[in-house]
Chains A and B, each alone.
Chain A
Amino acid sequence: MLILALAALTLIALDSFTNWLRPGHVWLEPLAQPFQWASTLPMRWREWNDEFLESRAAIIANNDKLETEILVYKAQLQRMAELSAENLQLKSLLNGAELVKNSVLVAELVGISPDPFHHNITINRGSSDNISEGLAVIDGEGLMGQVTEVFEDHSRVLLITDSRHALPIYNLRNNVRGIIEGSGNFQRLRLRHVSPTQDIQVGDTLLSSGLGGRFPSGYPVGTVNAINKDPGQAFIEVSVTPAAKVDRSLLLLVVFTAVEALDNYPQTTETTRQAIIPGSDNAKGQ
């Protein structure tokens, strides 16, 4: 018994403070796949219900609605192409090394962590799809989280609602910056260190600011849903509803920032790279 307990303690210490047991994690990962898959069964069941048990009329109506939506988006996209070209040109004039466009990769949710203390999910893209640690993951509505562990064919994503997670944001209305952190609750995020005099209102949209270089900028993170001013406290409590459907989305997108996206295309030559990102060789030379 003592030997077993000591062995367990040694393993805990090794795995917490060193990287030596990592091969064990990677090697046993395929074994966990069926159980991971089981964890998404209720969501899949609901989706199956939606797909197969809908009436013909409902599907036709839905199709019509989607076609109208596509038309609207296409119209917006026509302007978008021009605007992003203009934006790129202006940025190159300013000698900025940032590319407007981020490329995305569609990924599917294949597992949810059963641990109630932490919000982790598993997606079906891994190192074979050029996923690396730290990439941002979004769904159709907003920012979901970031990749923390990469395996061969899938990777683990830490959600923004996890209590260990925080990211820099700015307020769309007045560009005030802040840090938002998870609360351990899927429906709620918290803004940190907001002074009582700061201009913030219920309904404000918060976007990722890209400071810190981990997340791409400009993705919706959430909307302010409650502000609690306690005169006895130095800071006010701001509670935010996440924009992404953190606990419901099945299809996700992994965002590659521009430079990484270029690395993914082998045909990209150094000259095109410089043409797209002016100043990149300056940075290298220094």
Chain B
Amino acid sequence: MPRGNSPIPLTALCLSLITALFLYSLPLHGDLAFWRPPFVLLISIYWLLVQPQHVGITFVWLVGLLLDLLYGNVIGQNALAMSVTAYLLKTQEYRVRHLSLPFQCLAALLIVMLYQTIWVSTRLISEDIVLGWRIFYPALSSALIWPLVVGTLYRLQRIF
């Protein structure tokens, strides 16, 4: 994964964030909705690893808050889940950055599993959710699309 020392790529960052929010809100048919990867988390993680001097855990926290506000969830659920995930990832930052692509996908799988666990646990405080293996489906789909996310964002960063 490349590590830039350039000024913050504001255009690319905003563009990727808006795209992620759009992708997140596209409807999926029936049970397919359980497979939707958490695009916003994946993109925040990419920027966290690529632009550590500009993008920190506070940024991820704010993005999570925005996500909660936009989709009418209980405020703070995504902020908590995303920032805790980002923090734990940050402690392993130097290992993760040097992984090859297949291992990066594996890391994405674990990270999203962690995120889903925290997110669903916080939701259980006030809502009743039918638990099952399907809460981890997004982790599998995230691992599959991770190369695509990295490739797209890398190119986007080169353009802007």
Contacts and interface: CB of A to CB of B under 8 A. Distances in A.
B160 interface: no
A12 B57 contact: no
B26 to A, nearest CB: 6
A1 B83 contact: yes
A185 interface: yes
A21 interface: yes
A23 B74 CA distance: 13
Contact of B79 (A8, A31, A43, A149): A8
A240 B94 CA distance: 54
Contact of B26 (A32, A39, A149, A185): A39
B130 interface: yes
Interface of B: 21-22, 24-27, 29-30, 33-34, 36, 57-58, 61, 64-65, 69-77, 79-80, 83-84, 87, 122-123, 125-130
18 contacts: A1-B83, A8-B61, A8-B79, A9-B76, A11-B65, A11-B79, A12-B125, A15-B75, A25-B69, A35-B21, A38-B25, A39-B27, A41-B26, A42-B27, A114-B33, A114-B71, A115-B71, A164-B127
Contact of A149 (B25, B27, B72, B122): B72
A186 B129 CA distance: 16
B76 A38 contact: no
Interface in A222-279: 247
B121 to A, nearest CB: 11
B30 A16 contact: no
A15 B122 CA distance: 12
A163 interface: yes
Interface string A165-183: 0000000000000000000
Contacts, number: 112
A114 B36 contact: yes
A12 B122 contact: yes
SS of B interface (majority) = helix
B128 to A, nearest CB: 7
A184 B135 CA distance: 14
Given A5-B80, A35-B25, A113 B30 contact: no
Given A8-B80, A12-B76, A164 B128 contact: yes
A184 B130 contact: yes
Contact of A28 (B34, B70, B84, B123): B70
Contacts of A117: 123, 127, 129-130
Interface string A28-47: 10011001101111110000
Contacts of B64: 8
Interface string A117-131: 110100000000000
